[in-house]
Amino acid sequence: MKAAMDAAAEQLRGRIGSIRHPETGEFPTIVVSGTSLSDMKLRIEGSPDLLALVKQKTGLGAEDAGGDANTDGSPAPKVFLSYAWEDRVAAEKIANALQANGIDTWWAEWCMSAGDSLRQKIDAGLSDCTHFVVLLTPVSLTKPWVNQEMDAGLMLKLQQQVKFIPLRHRLPAEQLPPLLRGTLSPSVEDPGYDIGQLINDIHGVLKKPLLGKAPVSVQEVERASTGYSAAATAVAKVFVESTKHARKFDPMCSIEELVTQTGLSEEDVADAIHEMSGLVVASPRKPVYPEDELFVTFDRFWMAWDPADDALKLASDMLNDAAFPTEPAEIGKRFAWEARRLNPAMAYLVNRKLVRFLKAMNGGPWLVVVIQKTDDTRRFVKSRS
């Protein structure tokens, strides 16, 4: 899977990396993170003008914002209530309760008059509703008209025009039609009493209590504006501040240790790790550890340096000085940088395929044992200078 990811990454670099801004001469920088195709992530870096050009030519760039339609300002939610004539007593209680609690309800007993077209009235009610509610009973499931209305309601649901709510009355869940078994179907054995939660759901009242304040550790890191959630930022801060050499596997923490150090719940820590897939690796019953790119991404928020700036300085000196050393220990002496600072700068260049490098199992505190310039190094410096 790692080989497949690397092959896919090279195809992307070949497709995107050759794009050049016609006026500035800038090339984009491509960073691919992750350990497999399932968690592979692509980020394109460069000036706003260059990123716009990349998106124009490839369709790749900032993700389109999405979300549900905003229904704020609607005078009232509107319900279409479908039921069988034999269940009209229970249906009437439900209709009265909805209407009395600010939910405009279409119920045949109110909305049909002598001489009206049944089909036209039902079509009008369906086209105007925000919620389709069907009262499912052993009787209503056998009625062709109720099933036709359910078909219409499901079609509107698929078109994201209404919310489809099946209510069970004296009907066990196992007797639901197969198509509805994956939908939450509340039971209303006493419509006058059980209808309260339905009313809250239609009005969008949450069941969970009001959101309290975040832990102190999270409140502190929210100010960092990392682009990640507060929980993910808190976890990243732990790794940034506790690492010794800013390398993969340094440090390794258990979920319990991250919970203790961040003040987050175990679930929040798990979600934060999932959010940072490609930067943090976690396996069942094994410690959590960072990838090199985590320090490239987050060092600038809590350390006295920015790995991107350090990488540009390193690449520039590699180009400008023919005698520039290729061993990290000698580079560190020249810049007066410990491994903690030099490694993220080298990781920036290595992860973006901007240098030639050699890794070794016994490389000591250093990310690589040899780092050398290439034509990609020159293009990077020229584009960023």
Candidates 245, 249, 250; CA nearest to 365 is 245
* Cα 79 to Cα 165: distance, rounded to the nearest angstrom: 10
Whether residue 224 contacts residue 301, with contact meaning beta carbons closer than 8 Å, is answered with: yes
Residue 10 has pLDDT above 70, yes or no: yes
* pLDDT the model gives residue 303: 95
Mutual angle of helices 339-351 and 292-302, in 10-degree steps: 120
pTM, whole model, 2 decimals? 0.54
pLDDT interval class at 66 (50, 70, 90): very low
Separation between Cα atoms, residue 83 and residue 272, nearest integer Å = 45
Q: Which range (50-54, 74-78, 88-92, 240-244) has the least confidence?
A: 74-78
For the ranges 5-14, 100-109, 177-186, 249-258, the maximum mean pLDDT occurs at 249-258
Phi and psi angles of residue 226, each rounded to the nearest 5 degrees, phi first: -80, -15
- Mean pLDDT for the chain overall: 85
Residue 207 confidence (pLDDT) above 90: no
Q: 208 or 180: whose pLDDT is higher?
A: 180
- Cα–Cα distance for residue pair 165/36, rounded to 1 Å: 40
Amino acid at 164: F
Which pLDDT does position 283 carry in this prediction? 82
- From residue 347, alpha-carbon distances to 24, 34, 230, 294 in Å are 26, 14, 25, 10
**Would residue 61 be called left, alpha or beta, if left means φ above 0 and alpha means ψ between -120 and 50 degrees?**
left
Would you say residue 144 has pLDDT above 70?
A: yes
Number of other residues whose CB lies within 10 A of the CB of residue 57:
12
pLDDT at 222 over 70: no
Share of the chain above pLDDT 70, in %: 85
Q: Residue 60: pLDDT above 90?
A: no
Model confidence pLDDT, tens digit, residues 309-320: 999 999 999 999
